[in-house]
Structure 1
Amino acid sequence: VIFSVILSICYLFVLLVSAVVLDEYAKTEGAWILSLVKREYSVGTVLECAIKCNIEPAFTCRYHYAYDILFSVFTEYLMECVNGIGMDYRGTKSKTNSGKTCQRWASKYPHKPNMTPSTHPKADLESNFCRNPDGDSKGPWCYTTDPDTRWETCNCRSTKNKKCVTVPILLGSLYMSNHVLLHLVLSPTPHPPCLSSLLEKYLEENYCRNPDGDPRPWCFTTSPSKRWDFCSIPRCTSDPPRVVEELTCATGDGSAYRGTIGVTASGKACQVWATQTPQQHNRTPDNYPCKGLELNYCRNPDHEKMPWCFTTDPETRWEYCKVPSCGDVPGPDYAAPPPAEEDCYVGDGTDYRGMVTETISGKRCQSWSSMTPHSHNKTPQVFPKADLRRNLCRNPDGDRAPWCYTTDPSVRWEFCSVNRCPTAPKPTPKPDKHDQPEPKPSQAPSDDSRDCKVGNGGTYRGPTSMTMLGVTCQSWSAQSPHQHASFTPESHPDKGMESNNCRNPDNDVNGPWCYTTDRNQKWDYCQIPDCAGLKCGQPVTKPRRCFGRIVGGCVSKPHSWPWQISLRTNTGVHFCGGTLIAPQWVLTAVHCLESSKRPSAYMVVLGTHTEGANEPSKQERKLEKLILGPGETDIALLKLESPAIINDKVLPACLPEKDYVVPPGTECYVTGWGETQGTGGEGLLKETGFPVIENKVCNRPAYLNNRIKDHEMCAGNIEGGADSCQGDSGGPLVCHAQNTFVLQGVTSWGLGCANAMKPGVYVRVSKFTDWINSQIKMNS
């Protein structure tokens, strides 16, 4: 026994000494592989094992050590060669035979894949590694990042003339000194391919972590019957860090503020964080032990714009606080309300605070606090006044327009798809009557002098003279800063090129353009709206896209959500919402039709902003047919007796791709004339924006306790305050993508309105796209 103890102590000493060498070993991505063919290496020490692993040519090898009652030592490895056609290949090759970089399997750009991590969960379609999910006879392959080449076979080594070498794995467990429980097994449970966007959450290996704000750390499990579970990790018993007096004023977003202000900006008393009355919430000292949630002091535990608190007023759930800024240290004016969030910018857009999250080419923006896929120094800490929230388009460094880093690894950054705010035209001096001859009748203004285009804008004669990036156009007759001869007033006298207005003299399919006054950009397209506004999901009047509340008040711009319809009784009383998806078709909820299954019992009103529907733009339609969704799902199609007239006030929303799952955290919008619980704005169309919540989170006991089905989705603020409510049922949940609003949900049900930890539930439209299209085709 004594000898065994001495041997164990010596063995542990070797492990600790070897740690310095082992720290240099880098983790490789992919999944663990355990081959039935085993080969053991005979080595005398742990250090020799590490050296042997380092020089292994047949597979990617990483040495680990773990100390438990058996002093188990193991290695993990990735096969870098191919057996047969390589269906079990799990290496890290990400180049094709011709050298093209592979597209990420979870990406939809530049190619929309048929095989994704969600459709083939057992194929290990992570990152952009070469795989063979469909058993291709040529071996592992991938979609490429070349728009002209959809896919190619990869250059993975074959084992035809070389035997794959593997080593045995001895499993053990290690309870680390920082109280992280490590399960040294491979998780067979597929999970969302979004870990690359959470590097700041330290999601290494399979350690227990808390990347999504749960009450305590958790992990995906190795049990096929249990997807995830909380980890058995005790809370720290030591005192939290002491607060220093310098933090009694606010810097940045005020997350470090530890002062004693306990009233909101409007004078309401703050509720004690540890209590649940009158507001129920999960922002408790236990759940946020390091956020200074003492008594009822204003704090910012969850990266809001500024310090806030729940209020003791039962009618007001929470409000921002008036906290002083720390003198010369950059910080917002906490006494002022948040700036208006309009989706256009003035000047160079430094003060832009809108909600656009896409670039001019339709790429999704990377979060400013994230370092993947692009590492950068434009962070909220470095630019505290730039409002670098989430992945919203901003201009922190004074560029010429709002921009963002993109989530496309091959494109670091781009300007955003946001327009310059319209400005009043400068007055032009009236010319002397001797300067110009009287215009002939044939020179009268064209019918297309409106500031919108018809078709490709070949006849556009409107006044816009800026590119879509806000750069002033060069005069067509000028040769500076760009020389040109192909398009001048002399060469095209009938194209309206007398000034520097955007025109389309060559009938470009993408619309009007101009030479620019930017020496680095010879020409660019102009942002000219379509006169007819016929594209689904692209309203002529841009929405506010506010993140206020339907319950609480956020009135929409008139006709900015032109697919919103009012479902009414045949006597004209509004009771539900719906979404126009085609000129003669509306999508709504089945439970809105409980009173009668006769089409004559209902009518649809389109093109209105007020619930009273007294506008001249109102269109009324009777129903020809009701089509209930399959099974007991809460979705229904309504066929109008006659098609709606599509114009700038009545426009369909776009349908999503089949089975598309909206990523958690995506900001979506709900609209309706529903119940406001006496908070103002009754009778006007209202809107609110909030993030999508993963079904895994929504089904937790504290939330909706396994009530959410696969064909449903959740959206809302976990702390409450924004939600759809009675009268909004059947209405749209739309998400913004590729400069278009896509209908992702039908408002279905919820536990109350805007309650904490009780988000709204919506029918997932992408699960029904085939059904919708087949019903429309069958009944047209």
Structure 2
Amino acid sequence: MDLYKTTFLLGTLLSAVSAVVLDEYAKTEGAWILSLVKREYSVGTVLECAIKCNIEPAFTCRSFMYVEKDQECLTIPANGKIESVLRRTSTSLYEKKEYLMECVNGIGMDYRGTKSKTNSGKTCQRWASKYPHKPNMTPSTHPKADLESNFCRNPDGDSKGPWCYTTDPDTRWETCNVQNCSEECMHCSGKNYRGKISTTENGYTCQHWNAQKPHNHGYIPSALLEKYLEENYCRNPDGDPRPWCFTTSPSKRWDFCSIPRCTSDPPRVVEELTCATGDGSAYRGTIGVTASGKACQVWATQTPQQHNRTPDNYPCKGLELNYCRNPDHEKMPWCFTTDPETRWEYCKVPSCGDVPGPDYAAPPPAEEDCYVGDGTDYRGMVTETISGKRCQSWSSMTPHSHNKTPQVFPKADLRRNLCRNPDGDRAPWCYTTDPSVRWEFCSVNRCPTAPKPTPKPDKHDQPEPKPSQAPSDDSRDCKVGNGGTYRGPTSMTMLGVTCQSWSAQSPHQHASFTPESHPDKGMESNNCRNPDNDVNGPWCYTTDRNQKWDYCQIPDCAGLKCGQPVTKPRRCFGRIVGGCVSKPHSWPWQISLRTNTGVHFCGGTLIAPQWVLTAVHCLESSKRPSAYMVVLGTHTEGANEPSKQERKLEKLILGPGETDIALLKLESPAIINDKVLPACLPEKDYVVPPGTECYVTGWGETQGTGGEGLLKETGFPVIENKVCNRPAYLNNRIKDHEMCAGNIEGGADSCQVCIDVVFLLSRRCFCLVSCLFLLNPQPVLASQFPASVVSRPLLLRPDRFHLSLCFTCLLSPPPLQVSPIFPIIPCVFILVFSVCLLPVCFVRRTYQHFVSLLPPVPCSCFLVSRF
């Protein structure tokens, strides 16, 4: 017993020591710094590597890299502020936090940042240099003062803080204006504010970002890691003039925080004068007209458009005169216009380099969403990594700075945040929006190769069939997830090299992954395994002396799960005129609601083998189940495929009150297969994060855009209510129980969120949606909103249940003016029914008859429609 206690206490102590040491470092997975100065060590744990860095005698160690599979530790004097960070598989970069801080404590003797300019803007002289000034303080006279490069330091304890010798022969030295760490202030509009103020300018206490009461919202910390939504601290995740927060007062949804501007210099921007890269936030040229030729309004004026995008609110965004700019994270530079009927428009600013502009869109490929070879030519629509992380836009430098941009790789199709392989890696990949994970391979499968035909054996030579036992789940040659439980027989890497036995030490020595160190990981032979839970899947040490280890090509186990179609959807997203014809059976929960004579008239969603979700207004002609039938498993409206399933109805259940939802119970359960599959339903109180891609599918009139009689699709992003409620959009007309989605940039695709309506629009328009959901006793009806459009298109929907009636614009009538902010165009009503399956939420205690229908399973963001 005493031995057990001693062992337990020793283990606890080691864990505590490890946590303390590693807490001094910021970890980034998949990152690497190429440094000429380095020291290499062979260690058994990451803690040993951290200790090596802490006591490094050769230089000041600012970072170390650790490769667990190789038991390799590299200490270096550089970090991400000094050298470029590269990407590398199965490597973790650890940077000392003290060298990443760009602020000082006290007089700044411990300042280890990278500021290298003085108060007056003079460049600092290197501490080891003797020109133009011969220094009294050098790396040799003050070895512990970190006098490397030309960074501001305070080796002598100057009361005014860090300083440096200057490169100006007439000025020997000057102090540097480095912000104090204890100073609560912000640069520019506070996008990078990381302070701890949690009270608004009007005295309201901030609501925690991970809380949904008293105000529910889409700014979920786990889904928006790059926004640093910590505790209840004021932040600026959406490009507002300054940091803000939701409040704990039910009567005040959100409020700005009173945070002073820093007196130190703001981050420098490399100005782009003749063209724009990325979203154009660095553009400082002199274009002052919109893409349609309208003159831009001067940013400092409030006529004819009133706004808060002023030079005072956005001091770092170059809002001079009436030049096109991008102060608030839009897709490209824009401006308010001098036309009273057009609030704002994008500008046509040339893109730097031989690349398409951010307005560019191309329809996704019609073929299977998979890659051939190394995926260099992959042009699919996947935006998620193998571990489920969201991809960072290739044009963005946040949270990860990089050089894989559309300008540098103009032929790699680096649009949006789509998975690509611009540099010839082994498969498509992307940078992630998780600050702690630089990049990952994407959740894209390799395209199957057709098997070579084998000669048919002679009938008389065929052996008698013998009974065989089905393989167990543990031994089947496929993986579930990242393959942590894989116990299959594969023992060859993806390059065809035989695996080294896990117990062998030749040709490669290793101690971290052996049958003894991981007795429960199935490492008895040389089969591929994943003992360290690598997100990229099973791997092994190889018998190739020049390649220590490599990944294995293990296919995913086939399985039918809700919301995960066997045929991956095209994911036709964004500015694609007319939408796209869907791949057959890529939306297997789409059903056709028909009369008992087989005439298609409405749509719905399969949510369980024997249950379909639809709208009450689809059942207006009769409340008798015998009046209807459901067709499943079809791609064509004609429903002449062999995969078609027909079911009569046993029961109709109408939603409570005036809600426009209904459940249809089929006479017999649908046969679940690769062409008929239920959609997922979310867990209670699930909130859809902004930027989530939603899709609409359906049959109907195509107005000459093609695909008649075939299922079509289009997609659009979810938009946070706070953004929707800005004056430029819906001016505070959206309530907490509603949500927004759509293409906020307007243009020719504004009304295409409801497919199969009018796709040939050239004016800006807006799809108004009737939000009807289960928990709202007084549903919001379409008639409560004017049948009009605003300057930027959005889709309204609630956070719990969404049934919508979309409006679209007429081409012929001229615009009408009803307010100084919202020019409108008369709209015509189009019968379109949409059900968003993400925000579904039923209260089980209140509606017991729904309980068995709604298992709490993960959901997919899909919309279905009928026309």
**TM-score range with shorter-chain normalisation?**
0.3 to 0.5
The 1:120–1:651 alpha-carbon spacing in structure 2 relative to 1, beyond 3 Å, is: farther
* Structure 1 residues 560 and 571: CA distance shift in structure 2, 3 A: same
Of stretches 476-485 and 556-565 in structure 1, the one that deviates more from structure 2 is: 476-485
**Kept in 1: contact 2:272–2:282 (CA 8 A):** no
Q: CA separation in 2, counterparts of 1:114 and 1:596?
A: 94
> 1:121 & 1:647 partners in 2: Cα distance?
70
**Aligned equivalents of 2:509, 2:34: Cα separation in 1:** 65
CA 1:434–1:492: 2 relative to 1, 3 Å: farther
Post-superposition shift, 1:100?
A: 46
Question: How far apart are 1:547 and its partner, in Å?
Answer: 0.9
CA drift of 1:330 comes to 11
Structure 1 contact 674–724 (Cα < 8 Å) conserved? no
For 2:254 and 2:697, how far apart are their aligned partners in 1?
Answer: 34
Given that 2:278 and 2:395 are in contact with CA atoms closer than 8 Å, whether structure 1 keeps it comes out as: no
> Root-mean-square deviation (CA), in Å?
19.7
In the TM superposition, 1:299-448 aligns within 5 A as: 343-365=369-391, 391-406=417-432, 413-422=439-448
Shift of 1:637: 2.0
Match for residue 619 of structure 1? 645
Following the alignment from structure 2 to structure 1, what is the Cα–Cα distance between the partners of residues 172 and 606?
34
Residue identity (%): 94
CA distance in structure 2 between the aligned counterparts of 1:329 and 1:460, rounded to whole angstroms: 43
Q: Is the 8 A contact 1:298 1:307 kept in 2?
A: yes
Q: Distance in 2 between matches of 1:485 and 1:39?
A: 21
Which is further off, 360-369 or 665-674? 360-369
Could you tell me whether the CA contact under 8 Å between 2:217 and 2:687 is conserved in 1?
A: no
Equivalent residues of 1:497, 1:503 under 8 A apart: yes
- Asked if residue 562 in structure 1 is aligned to residue 569 in structure 2, the reply is no
What is the aligned partner in structure 1 of residue 499 from structure 2?
473
Q: Is the 8 A contact 2:361 2:576 kept in 1?
A: no
Q: Deviations over 1:677-709 (max 9, x none)?
A: 553333221112222122444456665566656
Could you tell me how far 1:95 is from its partner in structure 2? 38
Pair 1:404–1:550, CA change in 2 (3 A): closer
Distance 1:448 1:662, change over 3 A: closer
Please state whether the residue corresponding to 2:47 is helix, strand or coil. Answer: helix
**Number of the residue aligned with 2:139:** 117
SS in structure 2 opposite 1:575? strand
Question: Does 353-362 or 195-204 show the bigger shift?
Answer: 195-204
Secondary structure of 2:540's match? Answer: strand
Distance 1:708 1:526 in 2: 50
Residue 540 of structure 1: how far off its partner (Å)? 1.8
CA distance in 1, matches of 2:40, 2:479: 73
**Is the 8 Å Cα contact of residues 61 and 77 (structure 1) preserved in structure 2?**
no
What is the CA deviation profile of residues 185-213 of structure 1, one whole-angstrom value per residue up to 9, with x for unaligned ones? xx997876656987988999999976425
2:93 aligned to 50, 73, 77, which one?
Answer: 73
CA-to-aligned-CA distance 1:276-329 (integer Å, 9 cap, x gap): 999999999999999999999999898788899999999999999998765689
CA distance in structure 2 between the partners assigned to 1:616 and 1:717 by the alignment: 37
Deviates more, 1:117-126 or 1:353-362: 117-126
Cα deviation, residue 348, structure 1: 3.0
Residue 645 (structure 1) shift: 2.1
Q: Deviations over 1:379-414 (max 9, x none)?
A: 778877766666543445543222345566765543
Change beyond 3 A, Cα 1:386–1:282: farther
CA distance in 2, matches of 1:644, 1:142: 76
| Cα separation, 2, equivalents of 1:335 and 1:278 | 32
The 1:344–1:255 alpha-carbon spacing in structure 2 relative to 1, beyond 3 Å, is farther
Contact 1:664 1:691 in 2 (8 A): yes
Residue 609 of structure 1: CA displacement? 1.4
Q: Deviations over 1:586-631 (max 9, x none)?
A: 2223333333322222221111112222222222222111222344
Q: Which shows bigger deviation, 53-62 or 711-720?
A: 53-62
Match 1:664 to one of 690, 695, 712: 690
Counterpart-to-counterpart distance in 1, 2:312 and 2:119:
54
Pick which of 508-517 and 401-410 moved more.
508-517
Query: How far apart are 1:132 and its partner, in Å?
Result: 42
1:779 aligns with 2:844: no
1:572: how far off?
2.8
Q: 1: CA distance between counterparts of 2:731 and 2:284?
A: 35
Q: Is the 8 A contact 1:175 1:182 kept in 2?
A: no
CA distance in 2, matches of 1:539, 1:149: 69
Q: CA deviation at 1:649?
A: 1.6
Report the Cα offset of residue 510 of structure 1: 14
Matched, 1:4 2:18: no
**How far off is 1:241 after superposition?**
17
Conserved 8 A contact 2:270-2:282: no
Cross-structure match for 2:762: none
In the aligned structure 2, how far is the partner of 1:328 from the partner of 1:259? 19
Kindly tell me: are residues 489 and 649 of structure 1, through their superposed partners in 2, closer, same or farther at Cα, counting changes over 3 Å?
farther
Q: Secondary structure at the match of 2:13?
A: helix
Per-residue CA deviations over 1:355-387 (Å, capped at 9, x if unaligned) read: 323332334445667788777776778877766
For 2:200, the equivalent position in structure 1 comes to: 175
Q: Is the 8 A contact 2:392 2:432 kept in 1?
A: yes
Alpha-carbon distance, 1:496 to partner: 21
Which range is displaced more, 214-223 or 430-439? Answer: 430-439
Q: Shift in Å at residue 674 of structure 1?
A: 4.5
The CA distance in 1 between the partners of 2:40 and 2:454, in whole Å, is 87
Looking at structure 1, the residues matched to 13 and 509 of structure 2 have their Cα atoms a distance apart, in angstroms, of 85
Quickly say closer, same or farther: Cα 1:318–1:376, change in 2 above 3 A.
Answer: same
- Partners of 1:205 and 1:492 in 2: CA distance: 38
SS in 2 for 1:19: helix
Against the structure 1 CA distance between its residues 322 and 368, is the aligned structure 2 distance closer, same or farther, given a 3 Å change threshold? closer
Tell me how far apart the structure 1 counterparts of residues 307 and 552 of structure 2 sit (CA, whole Å): 48
User: Is it true that 1:54 corresponds to 2:59 in the alignment?
Assistant: no
Closer/same/farther in 2, CA of residues 214 and 308 from structure 1, 3 Å limit: closer
Q: Following TM superposition, by how much is the alpha carbon of 1:226 offset from its aligned partner in structure 2, in angstroms?
A: 0.9
Aligned partners of 2:245 and 2:257 also within 8 Å: yes
Tell me if the contact between 2:528 and 2:539 (Cα under 8 Å) persists in the aligned partners: yes
Deviates most, 691-700 or 441-450: 441-450
Contact 2:28/2:436 (8 A) holds in 1: no
- Residue-pair matches, total: 708
Q: Quickly say closer, same or farther: Cα 1:38–1:494, change in 2 above 3 A.
A: closer
- Structure 1 residue 352: deviation in Å? 3.8
Structure 1 range deviating more: 200-209 or 270-279: 270-279
Deviates more, 1:30-39 or 1:332-341: 30-39
Checking the alignment, whether the CA contact within 8 Å between 1:341 and 1:355 is kept in structure 2 is no
Tell me the SS of whatever aligns to 1:691.
strand
State the distance in 2 between where 1:290 and 1:97 align: 18
Is the alpha carbon distance of 1:600 and 1:447 closer, same or farther for their aligned partners in structure 2, counting shifts above 3 Å?
Answer: same
Unaligned stretches of 5+ residues in structure 1 = 9-16, 63-71, 165-172, 727-732, 742-775
**1:391–1:175 CA distance, 2 compared to 1 (3 A):** same
Instruction: Tell me how far apart the structure 2 counterparts of residues 83 and 697 of structure 1 sit (CA, whole Å).
Output: 37
> In structure 2, what is the equivalent of residue 89 of structure 1?
111
8 Å Cα contact 1:529/1:540 also seen in 2? no
Choose 503-512 or 247-256, whichever is displaced more.
Answer: 503-512
DSSP-derived class of the 1:736 partner? coil
Partner of 2:28, secondary structure, is coil
8 Å Cα contact 1:180-1:207 kept in structure 2: no
Q: Are the aligned partners of 1:344 and 1:418 in contact in 2 as well (CA < 8 Å)?
A: yes
Deviation at 1:577, TM superposition (A): 2.3
Task: Give, in whole Å, the separation in 1 of the partners of 2:93 and 2:507.
Answer: 69
Distance 1:431 1:717, change over 3 A: same
Contact conserved, 2:697 with 2:712, CA < 8 A, in 1?
yes
Q: Distance in 1 between matches of 2:175 and 2:425?
A: 41
Contact 1:364 1:407 in 2 (8 A): yes
Q: CA deviation at 1:345?
A: 3.0
- Conserved 8 A contact 2:223-2:689: no
Cα distance per residue 1:718-767 (max 9 Å; x no partner): 234698989xxxxxx999999999xxxxxxxxxxxxxxxxxxxxxxxxxx
Q: Secondary structure at the match of 1:61?
A: coil
| Range 109-118 or range 679-688, more displaced | 109-118
Give the aligned partner of residue 860 of structure 2.
none
| Partner in structure 2 of residue 155 of structure 1 | 177
Distance change (3 Å), C-alpha of 1:494 and 1:703: closer
TM-score using structure 2 length: 0.44
* Whole-angstrom distance in 2 between the partners of 1:412 and 1:472: 30
CA distance in 1, matches of 2:507, 2:275: 50
Query: Which of 175, 195, 201 is the equivalent residue of 2:227?
Result: 201
Distance 1:60 1:516 in 2: 36
Alpha-carbon distance between aligned partners in 1 of 2:165 and 2:46, rounded to the nearest angstrom = 41
Q: How does 1:394-543 map to 2 (within 5 A)?
A: 394-406=420-432, 413-422=439-448, 533-543=559-569
Post-superposition offset of 1:558: 1.2
Range that drifts further, 207-216 or 115-124: 115-124
